[in-house]
Structure 1
Amino acid sequence: MSQHAKDLFLSAVLDRSVISRSGREVGRLFDVAMSPGDPLPVVHHVLVKQGGRVLRVAYSDIAMFNDVIVSLHGEPENLPDLPEAPNEVLMRRDILDRQIVDVDGARVVRVNDLKLATAAGGLCLSAVDVGFRGILRRLGYLKAWDFLGGVLHRQLAPKEIDWLLVQPLDSNLTQLTLTVTRDKLSDMHPADLANILAQLPHGSVSSVLNSIDVEAAGEAMGEMEPEDSSRLLSQMESAHAADVLEEMPPDEAADVLAELPDEKAQELLAQMDPEDAEKVQELLEHEDDSAGGLMNNEFLFVTPEATAEDALTQVRLLGAEMDSIYYMYVLDRDEQLLGVVSLKRILLSRGDEAIAGIMTRNPKTVHVDDPLEDVLELVVQYKFAAVPVLEDDGKMAGIVTADDIMEHFMPFALRWKQYKATRNF
């Protein structure tokens, strides 16, 4: 039996009896403290509970440390009792049962056990167990489960995350929530990131949002229910929240702000870019169950004199800022809607062909105050990807996309369909 186990799980030593050199029981091992190491944190001392007293014993004063026995080099009265460090990080108190953002799985998982390994004469924290094996190990059922798995030829695979891939979200480690490769969060699919944000505990969301770029945060919030997004925004600094809102399509930003108290919503609007704030404020003035309440007032338009090449140039210049591009709308100098032309039709036309010659005249429209049922009827009957919305004076105010109207009436079915379609790209 080795004095110090080569690989050891924390659950194997927690609450184990600690004996002195003479064989006398000193107490129970209550926790393990770690200090920074290169590259992994190392065990600095252990906490031994003696009735109502806690004794801190340096790891160098431990003779044997494995899943069978924990013993000291000497007697406890002859060993120095270490003082409590100001920012002492304890494996049981601060890491065990905490949550980790699993970027690859797009979910939040729990730390069920900690894996320790010997390195350079010491003991370091090498990995966290986030699988079912960790739970069984802590309950004392792992050996029985492995035996049964061997009989049935169905072994339970370990699920461990290397500590090198784990980073603290908060600088205050005594309130530890962890994330795997935080820099990957900004590169995740918005739906996956939204799923993670929705699972995080209340106190750690602001740290996650501060660690990713505002564009990624805005896209993720667009995938969430407005009430959930508003909850996240309320935990952020106002300036940062305003930056995130600027990255969202105006209609989605308006939906989120509508869930906030008026005073808070106006505070965020005041800190947004004036042009973005004006678009959002305009949408907030419409009833939720009207075409104006669901429309997006960002859309691409051209004049009838423009050519197909002019239209494509417009797409290249402004398309990246648009939530979706299905059609280009043809407006006169008074912003009256003259026609609509699909992006496909533009791409298939000669570059010098005038938009007036390829557009569809007198397109179907709705009024800003029309009920959403009217929009749905047009989308279903004509299979439109988007429906233009007009003001009282006939000026074009925005568009309602098929995605948004279908999501309004069939949220779960459409969301799943959209998610699958997006994942194909």
Structure 2
Amino acid sequence: MEEGQVYLASLLRREVRDAKDREVGHVEDLAFDLAAKPPVATDIAVHLQWTDRIGGLLLPRPVEDIVLLMPWSEVEAIEPEAVYLRHEHPEFEVASSEGKLLLRRDVLNKQMVDAEGNRLQRVDAVILKPEGVLLFLEGLQVGMEWFPPGRRMERIVGKLRRRYNRAGEENIIPYEAILRVDEGELVIRT
């Protein structure tokens, strides 16, 4: 992995703190817009320890163990020890997950296939690039230690990195090669 990049896994379960610096939960997932070039984070899924409100709605009783999707505008800062939100608990903006691409749920450990449907390999890791408070998708890391699939993936990844003029580690598929995410698999341009 190149300098200035982070693994999605390093952000998952990272502590989340509100505007008053109170721990409110942890990062559960990140939503991305694949149509943007480069793809950018649009929402953050936060696993709250508890809440008695969702958006402006007061709940009949407090609930524990709930995951809320919040627009990325709710993120104030991403630090090594925690993600900081703009508002205090429970005054967060919330968003629907309908139609959203969530990296942990929809990409990490999912099967990659080529445009003809041939199975390639699973996604081992998702590589992100932070720029200020924004996060951009850099690529997908794949293991190439298995023979013969490892040799085949090595050739495919090399071809893709040359096509998109991306130097660096040999086992990273550039984001530009992602055609779409279907249910349960990622379609990669080979």
Q: In 2, are the aligned partners of 1:129 and 1:158 still within 8 Å (CA)?
A: no
Q: Residues 19 and 120 (structure 1 numbering): CA distance in 2 closer, same or farther, change over 3 Å?
A: closer
SS in 2 for 1:78: coil
Q: In 1, are the aligned partners of 2:78 and 2:133 still within 8 Å (CA)?
A: no
Q: In 1, are the aligned partners of 2:19 and 2:88 still within 8 Å (CA)?
A: yes
Question: Structure 1 CA distance, aligned partners of 2:69 and 2:170?
Answer: 32
- TM (normalized to structure 1)? 0.32
Task: State which structure, 1 or 2, has the greater radius of gyration over its C-alpha atoms.
Answer: 1
**Higher RCO, 1 or 2 (CA under 8 Å, sep at least 6)?**
2
* 1:61 aligned onto 2:74: yes
Q: In 1, are the aligned partners of 2:16 and 2:82 still within 8 Å (CA)?
A: yes
Instruction: Tell me the CA shift for residue 86 of structure 1.
Output: 2.5
Instruction: Tell me the CA shift for residue 120 of structure 1.
Output: 9.0
SS in 1 for 2:126: strand
Task: Select which of 126, 131, 143 maps to 1:131.
Answer: 143
Task: Select which of 32, 35, 59 maps to 1:34.
Answer: 32
Letter in 1 for 2:72: Y
Task: Select which of 54, 65, 73 maps to 1:52.
Answer: 65
In structure 1, stretches of 5+ residues that fail to align are 134-156, 185-425
Instruction: Tell me the CA shift for residue 32 of structure 1.
Output: 0.7
Question: Structure 2 CA distance, aligned partners of 1:25 and 1:120?
Answer: 22
Question: Structure 1 CA distance, aligned partners of 2:174 and 2:17?
Answer: 32
Instruction: Tell me the CA shift for residue 121 of structure 1.
Output: 6.6
Instruction: Tell me the CA shift for residue 116 of structure 1.
Output: 1.2
Q: In 2, are the aligned partners of 1:131 and 1:158 still within 8 Å (CA)?
A: no
Question: Structure 2 CA distance, aligned partners of 1:24 and 1:67?
Answer: 16
Question: Structure 2 CA distance, aligned partners of 1:120 and 1:63?
Answer: 10
Q: In 1, are the aligned partners of 2:29 and 2:46 still within 8 Å (CA)?
A: yes
Instruction: Tell me the CA shift for residue 96 of structure 1.
Output: 0.6
Letter in 1 for 2:188: V
Aligned to 1:159: 171
Question: Structure 2 CA distance, aligned partners of 1:22 and 1:39?
Answer: 34
Letter in 1 for 2:87: G
Question: Structure 2 CA distance, aligned partners of 1:78 and 1:11?
Answer: 27
* 1:14 aligned onto 2:12: yes
Q: In 1, are the aligned partners of 2:69 and 2:97 still within 8 Å (CA)?
A: no
SS in 1 for 2:9: helix
Aligned to 2:87: 74
Q: In 2, are the aligned partners of 1:112 and 1:129 still within 8 Å (CA)?
A: yes
Moved over 4 A (4+): none
SS in 2 for 1:76: coil
Residue deviations 1:32-78 (CA, integer Å, cap 9, x gap): 11124432321111111123212222212212224432111231322
Question: Structure 1 CA distance, aligned partners of 2:91 and 2:137?
Answer: 28
Overall identity of the aligned pairs, in %: 26
Question: Structure 2 CA distance, aligned partners of 1:26 and 1:132?
Answer: 39
- TM (normalized to structure 2)? 0.66
Letter in 2 for 1:64: A
Question: Structure 2 CA distance, aligned partners of 1:180 and 1:60?
Answer: 30
Higher strand residue share: 2
Letter in 1 for 2:186: L
Task: Select which of 110, 125, 143 maps to 1:98.
Answer: 110
Q: In 2, are the aligned partners of 1:34 and 1:91 still within 8 Å (CA)?
A: yes
Letter in 1 for 2:175: W
Question: Structure 2 CA distance, aligned partners of 1:85 and 1:45?
Answer: 9
Question: Structure 2 CA distance, aligned partners of 1:98 and 1:66?
Answer: 28
SS in 1 for 2:104: helix
SS in 2 for 1:114: strand
Letter in 1 for 2:94: D
Q: Residues 69 and 24 (structure 1 numbering): CA distance in 2 closer, same or farther, change over 3 Å?
A: same
Aligned to 2:98: 86
Task: Select which of 160, 179, 202 maps to 2:187.
Answer: 179
